[in-house]
Structure 1
Amino acid sequence: MTGYDAIADWYETTFLPGWRDDPLEIGLVLRDLLGPGSGPCLELGCGTGAHAGRIRDLGRTPLGVDLSAGMLRHASPRLPVVRGDAEALPIATGSLPTVVSVMVHTDMPDYPAVLREAARVLAPGGVFVHIGVHPCFCGGFADRADERAVVLRPGYRETGRTTKSWTDRGLRDKVGATHRPLPALLHAVLDAGLVFERFAEGGSPTPTVLGWRAVRR
């Protein structure tokens, strides 16, 4: 996610304000899947810490890890952060009750490795919550220019890095995205040793967000 260094200020001052009304219902999905609790909650790829308040409102203590020093510069007033790789977390095995990944899995080319690390640092019975772009309706193959319908073009079954986007005024045209079809994404969770508990979707009329809650065996 070091590519975010070049756009960190734009992300904080221009991109984020346009999402404060939460049109993708990320806050609603997070409340549904994570729910109230206590103790530390690690956010993988925390960026500028935009979701720290939502985690804190649920009674939990947000902690953040991200590769981008530029993004962490904006995040540090919002939550304790460390610059690090989500594929090799500087955290003891079995030490955390909760880990979340919010709208970042397409920034992580080896997300299966990230899931394995999330499972490693979770205590037995610990909770992992994933919230990300819906793999069936978002990506370089999905044209969302018409809010009433999504036009799906060839490409859904392809796994890999793409810089294509249906708009040149968003985020993905700047940093690209790694797409994984739904079966590959779900299998990676199971392969990490996590067990699904709940699912949720967000955004309308066609879901933009897919989330789930899983626990460490």
Structure 2
Amino acid sequence: MTPAAAYDEIADWYEHDFLGGWRAHAESGGDPLGVDPLLRDLLGAGSGPCLEIGCGTGFHAARVRALGWTPLGVDLSAGMLRHARDRLPVARADAERLPIADGSVPAVLSMMVHTDMPGYPAVLREAAQVLRPGGMLVHIGVHPCFCGGFADHGDREAVVIRPGYLDSHWTKDSWTDQGVRARVGAVHRPLPELMHSFLEAGLVLERFAEGRGPTPLVLAVRARKPG
């Protein structure tokens, strides 16, 4: 089963049940993954189009718009885009073959999606192609050191890391059967492999940050296309 087909099957659950829980947190002032400060810090205020690759249901569009950017989205899943269309302009497309002119956008955002993309190095190369010289790519994703089939998050104060981190792999193993990964699986890449993907795309690494908590769930990177 491809990631696109998997997300088509769970699109309604993802929008109403999974994201419903995140919206409830947000409405009460919560940010379970700590992505808001990471987005403000790394993307920051700006103007012009910000292309979100793997935009899903458009959940993050309001955050991007609040920073002054004009969010645009691409995703492979028609089911997810059905929920996104009222939140931002979207196109159904493979992130490895973006329907965007080379050198045309000042910012690209990859938000919590790299584990859904087996060809993420190729996605980064394509993102670098469509960025303007001097444009930035902001990656905010699950932390490769602490999230994956090898990590048990049953106790957030004492996450258990089992063997498996060092090997690149795809898995549906998860400490919980209530999340996305148990339904659609995830690609794991160790930290050095992930970071090398930015360099191999010709991007210059510029800034790094991690999510909050005793064990950070999120790793964020800002990289820039040479001007």
TM-score (norm. length: structure 2) = 0.94
Aligned to 2:92: 83
Aligned to 1:11: 14
Distance in 2 (CA, whole Å) between partners of 1:87 and 1:171 is: 22
Q: Per the alignment, in what secondary structure is the counterpart of residue 32 of structure 1? A: helix
Aligned to 2:160: 151
Distance in 2 (CA, whole Å) between partners of 1:28 and 1:186 is: 21
Q: Per the alignment, in what secondary structure is the counterpart of residue 136 of structure 1? A: coil
Aligned to 2:76: 67
Q: Per the alignment, in what secondary structure is the counterpart of residue 149 of structure 2? A: coil
Aligned to 1:35: 44
Aligned to 1:205: 214
Runs of 4+ in 1 over 3 A off after TM superposition: none
Name the stretch that deviates more: 18-27 or 48-57. Answer: 18-27
Aligned to 2:149: 140
Whether the aligned pair in 2 keeps the contact of 1:23 and 1:203 (CA below 8 Å) is no
Distance in 1 (CA, whole Å) between partners of 2:222 and 2:67 is: 15
* Residue 147 (structure 1) shift: 1.3
Distance in 2 (CA, whole Å) between partners of 1:147 and 1:158 is: 24
Distance in 2 (CA, whole Å) between partners of 1:130 and 1:12 is: 22
Q: Per the alignment, in what secondary structure is the counterpart of residue 123 of structure 2? A: helix
* Structure 1 residues without counterparts, runs of 5 or longer: none
Aligned to 2:28: none
Distance in 1 (CA, whole Å) between partners of 2:17 and 2:130 is: 34
* Residue 203 (structure 1) shift: 3.4
CA RMSD of aligned residues (A): 0.7
2:108 corresponds to which of 99, 105, 123: 99
Name the stretch that deviates more: 13-22 or 137-146. Answer: 13-22
Q: Per the alignment, in what secondary structure is the counterpart of residue 184 of structure 1? A: helix
Letter of the 1:14 counterpart = D
Aligned to 2:58: 49
Distance in 2 (CA, whole Å) between partners of 1:209 and 1:136 is: 10
Distance in 2 (CA, whole Å) between partners of 1:42 and 1:27 is: 18
Distance in 2 (CA, whole Å) between partners of 1:167 and 1:194 is: 35
Letter of the 1:169 counterpart = Q
Residue pairs, 1:129-208, within 5 angstroms:
129-208=138-217
Whether the aligned pair in 2 keeps the contact of 1:109 and 1:160 (CA below 8 Å) is no
Distance in 2 (CA, whole Å) between partners of 1:35 and 1:59 is: 9
Name the stretch that deviates more: 57-66 or 162-171. Answer: 162-171
TM-score (norm. length: structure 1) = 0.99
Distance in 2 (CA, whole Å) between partners of 1:43 and 1:18 is: 22
* Residue 86 (structure 1) shift: 0.2
Whether the aligned pair in 2 keeps the contact of 1:52 and 1:78 (CA below 8 Å) is yes
Letter of the 1:194 counterpart = L
Distance in 2 (CA, whole Å) between partners of 1:91 and 1:60 is: 17
* Residue 109 (structure 1) shift: 0.3
Distance in 1 (CA, whole Å) between partners of 2:80 and 2:212 is: 25
Count, aligned residues: 217
Whether the aligned pair in 2 keeps the contact of 1:44 and 1:100 (CA below 8 Å) is yes
